[in-house]
Amino acid sequence: MNSCRHYSHDVYHGVLCSGDGQSSKSAVLKQTRDSVTVDLSHSSRSTEADATTSGKRDLSIGLDGSFVLPAARVEELKEEFGINTDDLLRALITPASALARPPISSFHVGAAGIGGSGALYVGCNLEFAKLPLYNSVHAEQFLLVNALHHGETAIEKLAISAAPCGHCRQFFSELACADSIKFLFFGGSYSLGQLLPMRFKPTDLLDSKETPLLLQAQHHQVSFTEESKRQIQAWEDAGETKLVEAAFEALKECENAYSPYSGCPAGAAILTSDGGVYAGGYIESAAYNPSMLPLQSAIIDAVIDGMPCYSEMKAAILVEVDGGAVQHRNTMEINVSQIAPQASFYCLHVEKRTE
Ligand SMILES: [Zn+2]
C-alpha cells in the first residue's frame, strides 16, 4: 500500500520512462511533463463555454501527478466546470494517459473511473523494457488496482482513451459489480455484457457462489514459515528495519490477495533507495492469463506515489505459499533482474494456518 511519500514532479519526470535506456523517447517525455504539470486547483473556467456549447469537451483539467481524487474534490470539479461525472471522466483521459510509462510502444493509454465511494481513480499503461509483452499493465488494470489499494469496493464507470482490449474485458469480469459497470469510450457507454457477451465468469470455475470476488474482502489465513521468520529476524538484528517493514507489507498483501482459483495467495513489496515501501497483491482471473502478478501490483503502488524510476528499487520481496501449485519466485526474480538489476530479490514463504 501507499506509504505516504511523494516525489516531486521534476524528479518524476526526469527518468519517467527509464529502464529502457533509450534516449529516443525524449519527445514523449516532454509531452508527458507538459500535460502532467497542469494544476488542478488553478484550472480555468474559460473553456466551460466551449464545453457546454459543443459536443466535444476540451476542459483544462489536469491531474498534477495525482492518481486519486477524493469524492469531495470530484464534486467540486463537477460544480466548478458545470459538468457531469461522465464528462469529468472523459476530460481526465488525456492527463491520465500522460502518466503512462510505455517505453516499448510509446502508446499512451489513460483511464479515469469513479468508485462506489465517489472517489475518482486514474489508470495508465506500464510497459517493461527487456521483458515479454505479457508483463505489461493495461490502463484499466492499473485503475482497478489503484482503486483496490485505496479500499474501494466497487467501480461504477470508467472512461478510456481507447476501446478496452479483450484481456481487460475478461479481467473486469472478476468484479462483483461486473454487470453494472459502464465503459465510456468513442462517445458511447457500454456494459461489460455488451463488450464481452457470453463471457467465461468466475462462477463458471468456482465451486461456491459465496466466494468473495475482486474488490470484496479477502482473508487468507497465512503466517510466515519458521525459515522465513528467521530471515526476518536476521534483518531485524542487522538493523535492516525497512526490509522488515517491506516483508510485513508483502505479507499483508498476501493475506488480502485475490486467488480464488489456485488458492495460492501472494504479495510483493518494493523498497526504494530512499526508504519508500510499496506493496501489492496477486490478482487472478478465471481465464488465468489476464491475472496480475504481485510485482506489477506493487509497481503500480510505487508509480502512484511517483517513484521516478525502477533504478530507485533497492529490494523486492515476494511472499507466497510454500509449495503452492502457483509459484512466482522464479518469474519475479527474473523480472526484477531485468527491470531493476541493482535491486536485491528475496522470497519469503507463508503457510496456511489451520485454526
Ligand atoms: Zn487492456
Q: What is the pLDDT of residues 266-280, one digit of tens each?
A: 999 999 999 999 999
Domain parsing of the chain, residue ranges: 12-195, 222-352
| Across 3-32, average pLDDT | 33
Distance 170 CA to ligand 1 centre (A): 9
For residue 12, the model assigns a pLDDT of: 32
Contact 70, 100 (CB under 8 A): no
Q: Under CATH, to which class is 12-195 assigned?
A: alpha beta
Residue 140 alpha carbon to ligand 1 centre in Å: 6
User: Which one of 3.30.360.10, 3.10.105.10, 3.40.140.10, 3.40.50.2000 gives the CATH number of domain 222-352?
Assistant: 3.40.140.10
Query: Please, are residues 298 and 276 in contact by the beta-carbon 8 Å criterion?
Result: no
Q: What's the whole-number average pLDDT of the chain?
A: 85
Which of 140, 255, 284, 320 is an active site residue?
140
Task: Determine whether 140 is an active site residue.
Answer: yes
CA of 171 to the centre of ligand 1 (A): 9
Residue among 349, 305, 303 nearest 324 (CA):
349
Instruction: Check residue 215 and report its DSSP letter.
Output: T
Are 12-195 and 222-352 equal in CATH topology?
Answer: yes
Residue 207 banded pLDDT, cuts 50, 70, 90: confident
Q: What is the pLDDT of residue 262?
A: 95
Residue predicted with more confidence, 39 or 62: 62
Q: Which band of pLDDT confidence, cut at 50, 70 and 90, is reported for residue 59?
A: low
Kindly state the average pLDDT of the residues 327-352.
Answer: 97
Q: Taking residues 27-34, report their average pLDDT.
A: 29
pLDDT category at 47 given cuts 50, 70, 90 is very low
The CA 349 to ligand 1 mean position distance, Å, reads: 31
Beta-sheet strand order (sheet of 188-191): 68-69, 120-124, 110-115, 155-160, 182-185, 188-191
Tens-digit pLDDT profile for residues 286-332: 999 999 999 999 999 999 999 989 999 999 999 999 999 999 999 99
Phi, psi of 150 (to 5 degrees): -100, 15
Residue 51 has pLDDT above 60, yes or no: no
